[in-house]
Amino acid sequence: MNTLFFYGTLRHVPLLEIVLGRPASAIALTPERLANHAALSVAEGPFPCIIEHQGDVTDGLLVEGLSDADIARLDFYEGSFAFDLRDVTLEGGQTAQVYFPHAGRWSTKGPWVLQDWESDWAALSCFAAREVMDYFGRYSVTEVARMFPMIRTRAAAMVNAAQSKHGAGTLHGKVDVQRLDRVYTNYFALNEYHLRHERFDGKMSDVLERAVFVASDAALVLPYDPVRDRVMLVEQLRMGPIARGDRAVWQLEPIAGRVDPGETPEQAAHREAAEEAGITLQALEKVAETYASPGDSTEFFYIYVGLADLPDRATGVGGLASEDEDIRSHLMSFDALMTLAETQQAANAPLVIAAYWLAYHRDRLRLRAPAAKPDVT
């Protein structure tokens, strides 16, 4: 049997149980301390690393009774974050092993506090750990580390889902997931479920096989200048139309991007407006919170109209080179936008939703706007 000292996120017992794949009741968990070491927050992620530092003492959890199979699972999980085991002697005289970071791998930003992490990040980390550990024995540590940013983004969407506003008046019945197979994962993922669900007559259905495309939450914003009565649309190549064989694979749409872990949808909307179009939004008007296609996808949209100053010079080509984005912006009058929607030339559902929302609220937004400016500035 093996003995480890955990100073970081694995002190959170629900996370430890996910990583081990079994309840922690069969192993001994004892509070302990490690002298002349400090647990520091990692700047690149919501987790700590440990360093030798004379005079500091690190609180932690002594875990005894770990099997070799447990260590293999722990090595897989911790290896994804570039940590390796080393021997230490704890304050109580007990010898244990600790996961130390690879030299130079992480930068630090001050002390790490377990209670703060549990409040802000524990739920997301548990969702992410479930996906990571489903890949144990299937993918290498290096492959999981490469996929981990999107694993965390998918986990963030699951945290957001617990706060969704919709669902009033619908059945809150039982869903029995008997098996979940992660059949594909990379930037996006494809999961296959074997499940039974409660029917409207109160009986349980037969076991059904259903596949679902697993994406992230996204913030979408249609910039609107109430003074000039114009909007901004962006244009870029889209994979959906390519795969469908559409004659038009460059699409007009609102500014859009995923909601990153630790980020609110509003923050994502402001960030994406700057990245994709180089504009600053003055305020956001909430339009809708909606699934893109609830029958087969987890993708969830937070849609906004963003009030902005949109002079003629606002257009251009933008996007992040690091994400291979090539995005062109267009200015369009409100009337032209509505013609686009009314004649079915807008093939982007959030754009159509935002357009009709704007048609309903346009007078209110214009009434609050300052005096009119020249069209060309």
pLDDT tens by residue, 273-331: 999 999 999 999 999 999 999 999 999 999 999 999 999 999 989 888 888 888 999 99
pLDDT number for residue 26: 83
d(CA 76, CA 54): 30
What are the tens digits of pLDDT across the range 53-108?
999 999 999 999 999 999 999 999 998 788 889 999 999 999 999 999 988 888 99
pLDDT number for residue 373: 55
Question: Considering 275, 276, 289, 323, which one is annotated as catalytic?
Answer: 323
Domain with CATH 3.90.79.10 in the chain: 217-367
d(CA 142, CA 232): 41
Contacts made by residues 138-142, CB under 8 angstroms, sequence distance 24+: 141/76, 141/79, 141/80
- Please, which pLDDT band fits residue 143 given cuts at 50, 70 and 90? very high
**2-151, CATH topology level:** Hypothetical upf0131 protein ytfp (3.10.490)
The CA distances from residue 290 to 159, 231, 256, 268, 299, in Å, are: 16, 22, 14, 16, 9
**Domain 217-367, CATH number (from 3.90.79.10, 2.60.40.420, 3.60.140.10, 3.40.630.30):** 3.90.79.10
Which residues, 6+ apart, have CB-to-CB distance to 113 below 8 Å?
A: none
Residue type at 376 in one-letter notation: V
pLDDT number for residue 290: 96
Burial class of 277 by CB neighbour count within 10 A (0 to 12, 13 to 18, 19+): buried
Is 323 tagged catalytic?
yes
Q: pTM (2 decimals)?
A: 0.88
pLDDT number for residue 374: 54
